[in-house]
Amino acid sequence: MREKRPGEAEKAEEAAFRLLARRDHSREEIRRKLKVRGFSPEEIEKALKWLETRGILDDLRYAQKLAFSLTKEKLFGPQRISQKLLQKGIPAELAQEAMEKADETLAAGERLRRALRMKLKGRSLDQIFPSERRKLANYLRQRGFLWEDIWEAFQETGGFTEE
């Protein structure tokens, strides 16, 4: 990795702007990508501040947009959404705020029930083998739903018996 010459802050701004032209990024994602490209920490910070003052880079807006997408399109649970936001470099308090806003549009319980119905494909839980129920519960857990919520949804949908 070659080091950029001092005074190339404008190039860092341009590189960051090009990244944001393709898709939204968090502040931390832009920082990482500019660092890989060889810009100094000072140049990176200057570029980030330039983008933020113009409203081009906004972690809260990005977090809300991503949380809404993961809520509506992927039907992820709260834990998985939180994990995704934190992976993108969103601060925990902004991630929490974005998740709460997204939860207003489609509550976690409703997402869980939709994902469950989608996987059951018209069948009821008593029509599938216990091993399939366990796989289904694990699938929902991997999507970020809590065991207690999964158990409750199973009870509402036709009961859950363990072997």
10-residue mean pLDDT series, the chain (163 residues) = 57 92 95 94 93 94 96 95 96 95 92 92 85 94 95 80 48
Domain that holds residue 124: 108-157
Task: Note whether 100 and 65 are same-domain residues.
Answer: yes
Question: Is-contact 42 49, C-beta < 8 A?
Answer: no
Amino acid at 151: W
Task: Note whether 116 and 149 are same-domain residues.
Answer: yes
Task: Note whether 112 and 144 are same-domain residues.
Answer: yes
Task: Note whether 117 and 149 are same-domain residues.
Answer: yes
Total structural domains within the chain: 3
Give 40-52 pLDDT, tens digit per residue: 999 999 999 999 9
Q: Is 18 within a domain?
A: yes
